Amino acid sequence: MKIKTLLFLAVLSASLIVFGCDRGGVTSQGPREALISKGFVDEDTWKVVCRGYPLEGTGGIQQGESSKRAALLGAYYYIQETFGDSVAPDRDGRIEKFVMMRDHAVLHYIVHKKGLKKMARRETSPENTPDDNMERKE
């Protein structure tokens, strides 16, 4: 009786080790970069190209739609960052192209508005902030 119990436990332990381990290993790729490119096409047109990655655990249609949504939200983020509230992405922009890859989606988004280049925020680097340029009297 003891031999049967020990044999059963040994087989159970071996099967848990073989089937319970993840054969894929850790596949951390670090943070994924969403922005591919952004910039002006002309004075009134700006284009952003973004990647969108699906939510983990999704598959099939959900994976594709999740990727598309992530890419669109990324484009909206970069439009807001560049133009603030002077541009409404859904009203002033449109999707030019979606490309579905195996593990992500790529979105080409165009914003077109009269005088768009003048509406862009100027990027300030930390070295050129107004407080740093002021003379300090002590």
CATH number, domain containing residue 69: 3.30.70
Q: What global pTM score does this model have?
A: 0.66
Examine residue 8 and state whether it is found in any structural domain, yes or no: no
> pLDDT at residue 124 above 50?
no
- Quick: pLDDT tens for 51-99: 999 999 888 899 999 999 999 999 999 999 999 999 999 999 999 999 9
Identify which of 84, 86, 110, 115 has the alpha carbon closest to the alpha carbon of residue 98. 110
Separation of alpha carbons 117 and 4, rounded Å: 80
**42 and 35 in contact (C-beta within 8 Å)?**
no
Based on the structure, what is the number of domains in the chain? 1
Examine residue 56 and state whether it is found in any structural domain, yes or no: yes
pLDDT band, very low/low/confident/very high, at 29 (cuts 50, 70, 90)? low
Examine residue 1 and state whether it is found in any structural domain, yes or no: no
Examine residue 43 and state whether it is found in any structural domain, yes or no: yes
pLDDT band, very low/low/confident/very high, at 3 (cuts 50, 70, 90)? confident
Separation of alpha carbons 121 and 114, rounded Å: 16
Examine residue 127 and state whether it is found in any structural domain, yes or no: no
Examine residue 7 and state whether it is found in any structural domain, yes or no: no
Examine residue 94 and state whether it is found in any structural domain, yes or no: yes
pLDDT band, very low/low/confident/very high, at 112 (cuts 50, 70, 90)? very high
Examine residue 113 and state whether it is found in any structural domain, yes or no: yes
Separation of alpha carbons 51 and 96, rounded Å: 14
User: What domain range is 100 assigned to?
Assistant: 32-120
